[in-house]
Amino acid sequence: MSNAYSRRSFLKMAAAAGVGGALAACAPVAVAPGGEAAPGSQEKLVRILMPSWATAEIPYDTTAREFNEINPGTVVQIQTTSEGWETKVMSQIADGSLEWCGAGIASSASSSLPRWILTGMVQPMDDLFAASSVEGADQLLDDLLPVLRTASTHEGKFYGLPYSFENISFNWRTDYFAAVGADAPPATLDEWLEVARELKAWGADEQIYPTSFIPDLDASVGSMIYGSTTEPFGDDMLLKWESDEAIYALAFYRQMVLEEELTPPHGFDGWLDAYYAGKVASVQAQSSRGVWGQLAFGTEAVTTSPVPVRAAENSGTPFWGNCVGLLTGAPYPQEAADYFVYTMGPQNDTFQKTVIRTGKTPVYQSAYDNIINGDPQFRTYGWMNDMRDQVERSVIRPFNNYFAIQDTHYRNYIVQLVEPGSTMTPEECAKAILEASQEEISKQQV
Amino acid sequence: MARRKAPNRPALDTRPDAPSVDDVRAQGAAAVATQFLRELFSLRRQEWGNPWGYVFIAPAIILYLVFQAWPILRGLYMAFSDYRWMVPATHGLAGFNGLDNWVEMVQDKTFWRSFGIAVRFSLMVMPITLILSLGTAVLISQVRNHFAAGFYRVIAYLPVILPISVAMLVWAKLFDFRFGYLNVILQGVGIDNPPNWLGSSKTALYAMVMPTVWARFGSWTMLFLIGIYTINREVYEAARVDGANGWRQFLHITIPLLKPVFVLVLVLGSGVVSATEESMILFGGTTGGPAEAALTTGVYLYRIAFIHGDMRMGYAAAMSLFLGLVNMAITIVIFKALRTEAA
């Protein structure tokens, strides 16, 4: 009998192997009831999705390794998200084959966490925290700043655990301000205008912008509206665009940007390059931008303060928590919740210190007591106390997914308001933003 | 002239044991049926070929069905449904809403404004890219030194291999109104107030044209070069003998013989009407640039589908289908206008 294979038999075997391989690949993963791994594999695989910026900034991988070492049988894996991951997660939730347990980062008091909750992508975590035996679990929710706890709560259930928060603040160059005799940040809009004029005269030769915004609604006019009234939102859950406070904020913005040219064009064009080039004396933006400045120019040259406001009685400032969520139908929800507590809980000083060093503000009262105010090495982050106080009395944005709509239309019309040669009035701008937002919201169901 | 002899008709069999007419008919029918089946199976064998072939192409077919055919069919259905990602009740058959999306599209001023921007953008990008790439291809084809010609080909093609996100981010830096090289050079030659390229609503769309042309012209240049290299040199020599100068050779030989390549690049280029990434990367997200001056339809529908409110993917799919139909119409016009099916 010949050992040689004919071409036909070889092709048959190859095709059979190919078809067999394809069928094997299509076969469902062997998962025992209750989400247990297939026989032979005793490990509970807890996959957590994180965006690459978060894993680059925060050592989630390191804490996962630590957690795995002290919890034999559980393997936490941090995976970075890719385009369209939410769609994939939702599909898997729908057909009951979810392979991940948790995901980040969603902003509370913004659009993303409400979207995750409204679509049923994430589940409440209260009961899992209560059942957790990990150190810190019993104090986690109580230690959380109340406003952040509320912002992550929907219909009485807690959905998004923040590892940090950010708020709109005034990030300023102490050396430049000192050059014009200012050793404190402006507390009111009038003081801001005054010091900006002085900075403009002082920095004219070097073409230094006295101040700058970033393009977001939150960081510019939105923040000014917050600082002018105790009730920034109307019944339609949009900012009160036609209120005196909003018109004043738009007019103030126009004055700074167009009439007195105290900012880059439009208030923000090329602000980041200018900031890093030392050509911007102050930026109204989220608080972490101040730490970016400190990293570039030194901790003595840049600091962060609460934003200037118009009225003593106000709504604080726009803010958001950077949250992780527990996915609905997660294979190992308790283990995932335990990992969250282990990593992000108030007992993990190392983690809290890492968060603070990135310029993000911690979310637990104990982190302020023990680290920012208790550890001399963290004295330079003392400004975070002011951010905490500011946020503690801030109005939480209404729970809906309309913010992006409002922000989009704001960005369109604010440019038209401050374009050189523009004849648009603040009233017209406010009306245009409101009408465009309302028209689009009328087409939404949620 | 020889006449063709008519074939003799067989004489009628009148023997007593001769088969009846019915028997003959039955036998004939059976024979015909047998022959028919034989032909049919033979034909089938010819049509279907070796069945093993299907096994080998099955993976490609499956991939096509899963990743091409199914999304297209699903997209088609979604264009006629009120599919909202955040509202599960609108998913599946329950979301069917007939022509509602299309009626809304007709009345949607932002959609038409964005479509106008996309058309203007295409009308700038396509001719500029065409002229630049054709000119570059002709110039490279004139280089006789193989090494030098290869060097120029690589240089022309380099922008194509750069990911579009990287290319656009580099251009965004070049366009920076204060620190970008472009304005630094303009200021160096005495222009004190150079444009705020990406910041002004007056210049944003034009600024978007430049990097798009830069990113695309390399591949078009290669296509034209391939076309030029396949033209028989004897045609040029004959024209030269007849006294045709370089311009006439280009006009009467190169251009007509490149017609199939023109069709190809124009059909490929017509997709620029769906441009999305350029605006999203240059202007950071779905803002559509300052005062939405660069809000192309692609960006607008992306915003509707993935950023705003309920994430109205059904309406976005309708807009996307509209763009697809526009692309098809442009393709038909190109084929008709250039009167070639050879491409």
Q: Is residue B168 domain-shared with residue B68, that is, in the same domain? A: no
Residue B19 inside a domain? The answer is no
Evaluate if residue B27 carries a pLDDT over 70: yes
B207 CB near a chain A CB, below 8 Å? Answer: no
Q: What is the pLDDT of residues A14-51, one digit of tens each?
A: 667 666 665 655 554 444 333 444 444 578 999 999 99
Q: Is residue A231 domain-shared with residue A359, that is, in the same domain? A: no
Average pLDDT, stretch A87-116? 90
A56 CB near a chain B CB, below 8 Å? Answer: no
A265 CB near a chain B CB, below 8 Å? Answer: yes
* pLDDT value at residue A267: 96
A13: confidence class by pLDDT, cuts 50, 70, 90: low
Taking contacts as CB-CB distances below 8 angstroms, the residues of chain A near B179 are 270, 273-274, 277
The candidate with the shortest Cα–Cα distance to A171, out of A315, A260, A356, A301, is: A301
* pLDDT value at residue B343: 44
Residue A47 inside a domain? The answer is yes
Q: Is residue A104 domain-shared with residue A49, that is, in the same domain? A: yes
* Mean confidence (pLDDT) of chain B: 88
For testing contact with chain A, the best of B78, B86, B100, B169 (most A CBs within 10 A):
B86
Q: Is residue B283 domain-shared with residue B227, that is, in the same domain? A: yes
Q: Which chain B residue shows the shortest CA-CA distance from A16?
A: B55
B60 CB near a chain A CB, below 8 Å? Answer: no
Q: Is residue A216 domain-shared with residue A255, that is, in the same domain? A: yes
Is B176's CB within 8 Å of A270's CB? Answer: yes
B52 CB near a chain A CB, below 8 Å? Answer: yes
Q: Is residue B50 domain-shared with residue B109, that is, in the same domain? A: no
Q: Which uninterrupted H or E stretch holds A246?
A: helix A244-254
Which CATH number goes with the domain that contains B110? 1.10.3720.10
Evaluate if residue A177 carries a pLDDT over 90: yes
Signed CA dihedral, A382, A383, A386, A391: sign only: negative
Q: What is the pLDDT of residues B275-317, one digit of tens each?
A: 888 888 888 888 999 999 999 999 999 999 988 988 999 999 9
Which CATH number goes with the domain that contains A130? 3.40.190.10
The end-to-end CA distance of chain A, in Å, is 74
Q: Is residue B54 domain-shared with residue B115, that is, in the same domain? A: no
Q: Which chain B residue shows the shortest CA-CA distance from A111?
A: B309
Lowest mean pLDDT of A33-47, A316-330, B21-35, B131-145, name the range.
Answer: A33-47
Residue A301 inside a domain? The answer is yes
Q: Is residue B327 domain-shared with residue B267, that is, in the same domain? A: yes
A91 CB near a chain B CB, below 8 Å? Answer: no
Taking contacts as CB-CB distances below 8 angstroms, the residues of chain A near B205 are none
DSSP lists the bridge partners of residue A103 as A49, A325
* pLDDT value at residue B86: 85
Q: Is residue B61 domain-shared with residue B104, that is, in the same domain? A: no
Q: Is residue B67 domain-shared with residue B181, that is, in the same domain? A: no
Evaluate if residue B62 carries a pLDDT over 50: yes
* Structural domain of B162: 100-338
B97 CB near a chain A CB, below 8 Å? Answer: no
Average pLDDT, stretch B64-85? 94
Q: How far is A424 from chain B (nearest CA, A)?
A: 13
Q: How far is B310 from chain A (nearest CA, A)?
A: 6
* pLDDT value at residue A38: 47
Q: How far is B25 from chain A (nearest CA, A)?
A: 45
- pTM metric for this prediction: 0.83
Taking contacts as CB-CB distances below 8 angstroms, the residues of chain A near B290 are 266, 415, 419
Domain count along chain B: 2
Evaluate if residue B2 carries a pLDDT over 70: no
Evaluate if residue A354 carries a pLDDT over 60: yes
Q: Which chain B residue shows the shortest CA-CA distance from A405?
A: B308
Evaluate if residue B251 carries a pLDDT over 50: yes
Q: How far is B105 from chain A (nearest CA, A)?
A: 13
Residue A12 inside a domain? The answer is no
Q: How far is A426 from chain B (nearest CA, A)?
A: 15
CA distances to A196, B130, B212, B251 from B140, rounded to whole Å, are: 56, 15, 22, 17
Q: What is the pLDDT of residues B63-74, one digit of tens each?
A: 999 999 999 999
Q: Is the ipTM of this complex over 0.90?
A: no
Q: Is residue A276 domain-shared with residue A249, that is, in the same domain? A: yes
Q: Is residue B51 domain-shared with residue B139, that is, in the same domain? A: no
Q: Is residue A214 domain-shared with residue A249, that is, in the same domain? A: yes
Is B201's CB within 8 Å of A19's CB? Answer: no
Evaluate if residue A219 carries a pLDDT over 80: yes
Q: Is residue A177 domain-shared with residue A254, that is, in the same domain? A: yes
Q: Is residue B36 domain-shared with residue B120, that is, in the same domain? A: no
Q: Is residue B73 domain-shared with residue B166, that is, in the same domain? A: no
Is A408's CB within 8 Å of B177's CB? Answer: no
Q: Which chain A residue shows the shortest CA-CA distance from B290?
A: A415
* Structural domain of A145: 43-166+320-392
Taking contacts as CB-CB distances below 8 angstroms, the residues of chain B near A90 are 85
Evaluate if residue A192 carries a pLDDT over 90: yes
Q: Which residue has the tokens 């979310």?
A: A363
Evaluate if residue A368 carries a pLDDT over 70: yes
How far is C-alpha A44 from the chain's CA centre? 30
Is B59's CB within 8 Å of A18's CB? Answer: yes
Other CB atoms closer than 10 Å to residue B146's CB: what's the count? 8
Domain count along chain A: 2
Evaluate if residue A279 carries a pLDDT over 80: yes
Residue A18 inside a domain? The answer is no
* pLDDT value at residue B285: 85
Q: Which residue has the tokens 């109580």?
A: A142
Measured distance CA(A185)–CA(A387) in Å, rounded: 14
Q: What is the pLDDT of residues B175-207, one digit of tens each?
A: 998 899 999 999 999 998 899 999 999 999 999
Q: At what angle do helices B259-269 and B204-229 cross, to 10 degrees?
A: 150
Q: Is residue A279 domain-shared with residue A423, that is, in the same domain? A: yes
Q: Is A245 exposed, middle or buried (0-12, 13-18, 19+ CB in 10 A)?
A: buried
Q: Is residue A195 domain-shared with residue A274, that is, in the same domain? A: yes
Evaluate if residue B87 carries a pLDDT over 50: yes
Q: How far is A373 from chain B (nearest CA, A)?
A: 38
Evaluate if residue B32 carries a pLDDT over 90: no
Average pLDDT, stretch B120-129? 94
Taking contacts as CB-CB distances below 8 angstroms, the residues of chain A near B85 are 87, 90, 119
Token pair listed for B53 = 């072939």
B238 CB near a chain A CB, below 8 Å? Answer: no
Q: How far is A214 from chain B (nearest CA, A)?
A: 12
Q: Is residue B312 domain-shared with residue B213, that is, in the same domain? A: yes
Q: Which residue has the tokens 């600024």?
A: B207
Is B200's CB within 8 Å of A265's CB? Answer: yes
Is A408's CB within 8 Å of B307's CB? Answer: yes
* pLDDT value at residue B12: 55
